[in-house]
């Protein structure tokens, strides 16, 4: 494909490491830019040779690795729409995403070949499943066999592919977020953001979290587009993360609060063993970082390295809080990012122009996604003219800094993962002894929020918290399973029958300045 940046890097810096996979106790795996270009071309060629066409959906699944990250480049070169699949999903959930996306192909780490095999009966559109880093199961294809006799040349494709990430919602089922503007890092808006933060080709990026999550995946893609080196940590471990930063002179990463809390909680002896002074760009996101965590980070890492951004899978990055304001603007998520317009609206739909007045936060920017796959009505319901919302409530101060103070959309952020109660409520209410359920987030020191369920049993039910949790585990990914359960005879409701979750949440959030963490 013409004008592919990997092709240029394969010539201009052929021997520079593009991806490094360094796991304790195993040989270090490295792909140079020349090797990454050739390998991703070969995979892209194999996709085309086996009938995968531009615009087709292709799913990838696995923990962070060279071949997983390389496949994202291959899918882009083949003009496909890549669909990341969270390997922590249940069989039922994984089958839904694969089937709903209309995926025709799956690229999976051997460790999760069983998940795909179990989901296969409910994914009729999938024609091929290719397994890497291990042996395939019945009906699957080994990577070596799939690539045998395939030349390392790019297919002829007019436009690069893109990514469709599934995000759950209030309807109880995940929805694919569709973008037709190509790579997020290629827009005028994103180029201005990268210039503001100060990224360059000499940076070394380490993954802090799974690549299926939109933030770590997007910043890994940006790193490659800028010609940086990406260090992939296969599975997060706090001390090993420090080792990688020291060993490779890591300069940047993107992280939710939970991994950083675990990193910063390592002993003084651990920090004495590893040099982390190379870190110059830490992007705080995925969930709000409490100020106490920021102070802990700044005690351990360079003072001018901490950047916070506010955004979402749907809307990209919308605000930026620079290092200079981390201590002076406590609780703020920053000012609008370059080429982003933010508007707050009150309950009557009037635009708010005065500071310190909370309102529904709407964004207008090129980074906003185009629609939800197969659910345009849901997309339309979140629009206001040219502006779009994900349901956050915010206010701005006299200096134009924004503060997120509540969420109207019924969402929990736990350990940086977005969790939508409707999915969990639907699963719980399939239990024969549960009449109805209400799920919401409660404060958690480790995770920010944890999942809490209020359950109304049917009359004469014999039901306890353990049974509720066990039922949830049968149908949901582990991180969605309630960590605590309480029982009520009935749920508080409005006159129209809507559950008053604010009343249920209130006792759990007493003493907190904000209703979100």
- Tens of pLDDT along 142-153? 999 999 999 888
Beta strands at 335-336 and 175-178: parallel, antiparallel or unpaired: unpaired
What confidence category does residue 169 fall into, taking pLDDT thresholds of 50, 70 and 90?
Answer: low
265 CB-near residues (< 8 Å, 6+ apart): 238, 296
Can you say whether the dihedral through the CA atoms of 360, 317, 235, 161 is positive or negative?
positive
78 vs 84: CA distance, rounded Å: 16
Residue 403: both structure tokens together: 């503060």
The pLDDT, as a whole number, for residue 515 is 55
Strands (E), 316-433: 316-321, 335-336, 341-345, 359-364, 371-372, 383-384, 387-388, 392-396, 402-407, 412-414, 417-419
Using CA atoms, how far apart are residues 483 and 439, in angstroms rounded to an integer? 11
pLDDT of 292 reads: 79
Host H or E run for residue 468: helix 465-475
| Angle between helical axes of 5-12 and 214-225 (0-180°, round to 10) | 50
pLDDT tens-digit profile of 290-336? 787 898 999 999 999 999 999 988 888 999 999 999 999 988 999 99
Choose from 66-70, 288-292, 343-347, 393-397 the range with maximum mean pLDDT. 66-70
3-state helix, strand, coil in the chain (%, to 5): 30, 25, 40
Q: State mean pLDDT over 491-506.
A: 73
- Cα–Cα–Cα angle for 182, 186, 189, nearest 5°? 110
Helix or strand (DSSP H, E) at 177: strand 175-178
| Three-point CA angle 44, 50, 54, nearest 5° | 55
- Tokens describing residue 59: 């799913």
Mean pLDDT for 215-243 is 95
Is-contact 242 266, C-beta < 8 A? yes
Torsion of CA 474, 257, 61, 33, to 10 degrees: -170
pLDDT of 245 strictly over 50: yes
Distance separating alpha carbons of residues 99 and 473, to the nearest angstrom: 21
Spatial distance between the Cα atoms of 306 and 321, rounded to a whole number of angstroms: 9
Where does residue 459 rank: exposed (0-12), middle (13-18), buried (19+ CB within 10 A)?
A: exposed
In Å, how far are 171, 268, 398, 411 from 456, measured between CA atoms? 21, 48, 46, 21
Residue 183's pLDDT is: 46
Say if residue 174 is exposed, middle or buried (CB neighbours under 10 Å; 0-12, 13-18, 19+): buried
Question: 173 burial class (0-12, 13-18, 19+ CB within 10 angstroms)?
Answer: middle
Q: How confident is the model over 37-55, as pLDDT tens digits? A: 999 999 999 999 999 999 9
User: Rounded to an integer, what distance in angstroms lies between the CA atom of residue 368 and that of residue 390?
Assistant: 11
Contact 167, 158 (CB under 8 A): no
Is 361 a residue whose pLDDT tops 60? yes
Strands 383-384 vs 387-388: parallel, antiparallel or unpaired: antiparallel
Task: Please give the mean pLDDT across all residues of the chain.
Answer: 90
CA distance 31 to 98: 29
Residue 424's closest CA among 416, 434, 135? 434
Pairing of strands 359-364, 392-396: antiparallel
Q: Which of 58-72, 105-119, 163-177, 452-466 has the lowest mean pLDDT?
A: 163-177
Nearest to 238, CA basis, from 24, 442, 84, 29:
24
Candidates 16, 4, 11, 98; CA nearest to 57 is 98
Task: Say yes or no to pLDDT of 19 above 50.
Answer: yes
* 81-85 vs 128-132, strand pairing mode: unpaired
pLDDT for position 74: 96
Structure tokens belonging to residue 482: 């309630």
- Residue 399: C-alpha distances to residues 15, 332, 336, 346, 481 (Å): 47, 11, 12, 20, 41
pLDDT at 152: 84
């Amino acid at each position: 494909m013409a004008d592919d940046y990997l092709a240029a890097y394969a010539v201009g810096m052929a021997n520079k490491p593009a991806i490094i996979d360094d796991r304790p106790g195993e040989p270090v795996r490295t792909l140079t830019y020349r090797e990454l270009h050739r390998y991703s071309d070969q995979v892209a060629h194999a996709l085309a040779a086996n009938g995968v066409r531009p615009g087709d959906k292709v799913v990838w699944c696995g923990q962070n690795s060279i071949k997983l990250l390389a496949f994202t480049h291959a899918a882009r070169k083949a003009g496909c729409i890549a669909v990341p699949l969270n390997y922590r999903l249940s069989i039922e959930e994984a089958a839904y995403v694969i089937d709903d996306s209309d995926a025709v192909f799956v690229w999976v780490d051997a460790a999760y070949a069983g998940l795909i095999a179990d989901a296969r009966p409910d994914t009729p559109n999938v024609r091929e499943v290719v397994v890497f880093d291990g042996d395939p199961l019945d009906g699957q294809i080994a990577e070596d066999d799939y690539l045998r006799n395939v030349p390392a040349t790019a297919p002829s494709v007019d436009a690069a592919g893109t990514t469709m990430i599934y995000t759950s919602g209030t309807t109880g089922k995940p929805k694919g977020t569709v973008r037709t503007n190509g790579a997020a890092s290629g827009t005028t808006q994103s180029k201005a953001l990268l210039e503001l933060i100060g990224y360059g080709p000499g940076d070394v990026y380490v993954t802090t979290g799974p690549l299926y999550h939109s933030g770590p995946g997007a910043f890994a893609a940006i790193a490659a587009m800028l010609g940086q080196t990406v260090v992939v940590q296969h599975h997060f471990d706090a001390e090993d993360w420090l080792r990688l930063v020291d060993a490779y002179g890591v300069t940047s990463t993107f992280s939710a609060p939970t991994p950083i809390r675990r990193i910063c909680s390592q002993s003084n002896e651990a920090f004495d063993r590893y040099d982390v002074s190379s870190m110059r760009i830490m992007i705080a996101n995925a969930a709000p970082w409490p100020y106490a965590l920021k102070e802990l980070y700044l005690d351990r890492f360079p003072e001018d390295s901490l950047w916070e951004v506010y955004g979402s899978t749907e809307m990209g990055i919308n605000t930026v809080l620079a290092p200079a304001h981390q201590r002076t603007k406590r609780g703020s998520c920053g000012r609008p990012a370059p080429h982003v317009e933010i508007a707050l609206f009150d309950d009557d739909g009037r635009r708010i122009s005065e500071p310190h007045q909370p309102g529904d936060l709407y964004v207008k920017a090129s980074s906003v996604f185009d629609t939800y796959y197969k659910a345009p009505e849901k997309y339309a319901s979140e629009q206001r003219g040219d502006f779009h919302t994900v349901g956050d409530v915010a206010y701005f101060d006299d200096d134009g800094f924004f503060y997120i103070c509540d969420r109207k959309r019924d969402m929990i952020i736990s350990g940086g993962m977005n969790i939508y109660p409707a999915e969990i409520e639907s699963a719980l209410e399939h239990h024969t002894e549960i009449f109805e359920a209400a799920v919401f987030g409660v404060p958690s020191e480790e995770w920010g929020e944890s999942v809490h369920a209020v359950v109304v049993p049917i009359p004469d039910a014999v039901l306890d918290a353990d049974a509720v949790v066990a039922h949830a585990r049968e149908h949901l990914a582990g991180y969605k399973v309630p960590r605590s359960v309480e029982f009520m005879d009935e749920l508080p409701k409005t006159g129209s029958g809507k559950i008053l979750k604010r009343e249920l949440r209130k006792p759990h959030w007493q003493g907190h300045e904000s209703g979100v963490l």
